[in-house]
């Protein structure tokens, strides 16, 4: 920390990330687990991106969005995981103030963009199930591009607003963040400034982004369920449901874990649970997404079989 000019207080220029230091005996084990998860996340998502790009059978709106989701997942996990892994064997787990704010900016940017993209993917599933004959007309390449670009711009804007609020806060100590990354709520707890305005801004953004995305997803799946129930054959209903099951699983995991973190009371007893839930939605879910979309997806399996035949023929 250094003394701020014209002030009798000190200005924090760096923070200490506690990480998982409460488990010193598990350092090597946790490092190995998280390194494995991070490498698998990058490998599996890159593999999915390459497969979708290479196979012409997957050049449809659904896989176009899945391609972008895989890219966002790589960016999302890379905003926190490398620093977390680096800190495991550091006695002094420090990060500069600007490094901390930038880490949160990119973490929030990719997270909000993914939230918007999941809503766009729900609309895509609605168009595929409820209007199959007009699907390619409704989900035109231009509209798909607009949805992806709109998701990224919207996510960046929301993150920028949070960054502006964060930069208005003054930090004069303590400077210990009880987390493995620079979480906004943890940083506000350390601020010497009045955080009421920033909390209001965060609440408004949560309502706008969280409820808007949830509303789009809920309405889309309401129409989807109604359409599936109208299908006469059990086989037809099963096929229609399977096209949505992967996306619904991803949405449930992403929103479920993040909701637990941000709505659970911030008490000392809940810090471990909150940190564990944060691991789920920042590290584990990006790894699971390509598996969720691949294991029960016949088109992905067929594309893999075609790729294997080309490689070994």
User: Quick check: is 5 in a domain?
Assistant: no
pLDDT at 261: 67
Closest Cα partner for 62 from 147, 166, 176, 179?
Answer: 147
Cα(204)–Cα(195) distance, integer angstroms: 14
pLDDT at site 259: 72
Segment 290-303 mean pLDDT: 83
The answer to whether residue 233 scores a pLDDT higher than 70 is: yes
Asked whether residue 96 is assigned to any structural domain, the reply reads: yes
Structure tokens at 101: 């704010």
Length of the chain in terms of residues written: 313
User: Would you state the pLDDT for residue 2?
Assistant: 47
Residue 4 within any structural domain of the chain: no
Tens-place pLDDT, residues 94-104 = 999 999 999 99
Query: Which letter, b or e, does each residue of 80-92 get, where b requires 16 or more Cβ atoms within 10 Å of its Cβ?
Result: bbebbbebbeeee
What are the tens digits of pLDDT across the range 235-255?
A: 777 777 777 888 888 888 888
Q: What is the pLDDT of residue 146?
A: 97
Q: Which domain holds residue 297?
A: 13-312
**309, pLDDT greater than 90:** no
The percent of residues above 90 in pLDDT, for the chain, comes to 51
What mean pLDDT comes out for the span 176-192?
90
CA 88 to chain centroid, in Å, comes to 23
In a domain, 3, yes or no: no
Give per-residue pLDDT as tens, 116-165: 999 999 999 999 999 989 999 999 999 999 999 999 999 999 999 999 99
Q: What is the pLDDT of residue 5?
A: 43
CATH number for 270: 1.20.1070.10
Place of tokens 């969280």: 210
Helix (H) or strand (E) holding 39: helix 27-54
Does residue 7 sit within a domain?
no
Opening angle at CA 220, ends 61 and 149, nearest 5: 45
Per-residue model confidence (pLDDT) at position 308: 80
DSSP 279-300: HIIIIIHHHHHHHHHHHT-HHH
> What digits encode the pLDDT tens for the residues 258-273?
776 666 545 555 566 6
Residue 1 resides in a domain? no
157 touches 112 (CB < 8 A): no
Count of structural domains within the chain: 1
Q: Are 240 and 132 in contact (CB under 8 A)?
A: no
Q: Say if 8 falls within a structural domain.
A: no
Task: Tell me if 303 is assigned to some domain.
Answer: yes
Q: Which of 252, 308, 247 is nearest to 65 (CA)?
A: 247
* Phi, psi dihedral angles at 164 (to 5 degrees): -60, -40
Task: Tell me the mean pLDDT in the region 197-212.
Answer: 87
Residue 220 above 80 pLDDT? Answer: yes
Average pLDDT, the chain: 87
Q: What is the pLDDT of residues 28-67, one digit of tens each?
A: 999 999 999 999 999 999 999 999 999 988 999 999 999 9
Mean pLDDT of 280-291: 89
Burial of 28: CB neighbours in 10 Å, binned 0-12, 13-18, 19+: exposed
Q: How much is the pLDDT for 80? A: 95
């Amino acid at each position: 920390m250094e003394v701020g000019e014209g002030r009798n207080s000190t200005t924090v220029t760096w923070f200490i990330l506690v990480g998982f230091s409460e488990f010193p005996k598990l350092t090597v084990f946790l490092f190995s687990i998280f390194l494995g998860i991070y490498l698998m996340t990058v490998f599996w998502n890159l593999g999915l991106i390459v497969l979708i790009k290479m196979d012409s059978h997957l050049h449809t709106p659904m896989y176009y969005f899945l391609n972008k989701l895989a890219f966002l997942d790589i960016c999302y996990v890379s905003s926190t995981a490398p620093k977390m892994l680096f800190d495991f064997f550091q006695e002094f787990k420090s990060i500069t103030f600007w490094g901390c704010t930038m880490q949160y900016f990119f973490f929030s940017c990719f997270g909000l963009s993914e939230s918007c993209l999941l809503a766009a993917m729900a609309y895509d599933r609605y168009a595929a199930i409820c209007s199959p004959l007009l699907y390619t007309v409704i989900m035109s390449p231009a509209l798909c591009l607009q949805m992806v670009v709109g998701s990224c711009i919207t996510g960046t804007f929301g993150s920028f607003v949070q960054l502006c609020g964060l930069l208005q806060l003054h930090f004069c100590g303590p400077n210990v963040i009880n987390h493995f990354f620079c979480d906004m709520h943890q940083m506000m707890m350390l601020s010497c400034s009045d955080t009421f305005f920033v909390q209001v801004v965060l609440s408004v953004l949560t309502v706008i982004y969280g409820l808007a995305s949830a509303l789009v997803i809920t309405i889309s799946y309401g129409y989807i369920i109604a359409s599936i129930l109208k299908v006469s054959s059990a086989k037809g209903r099963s096929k229609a449901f399977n096209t949505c099951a992967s996306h619904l699983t991803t949405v449930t995991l992403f929103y479920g874990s993040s909701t637990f973190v941000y709505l659970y009371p911030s008490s000392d007893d809940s810090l471990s649970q909150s940190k564990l839930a944060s691991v789920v939605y920042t590290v584990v879910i990006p790894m699971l997404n390509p598996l969720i979309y691949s294991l029960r997806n016949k088109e992905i399996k067929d594309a893999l079989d075609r790729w294997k035949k080309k490689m070994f023929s």
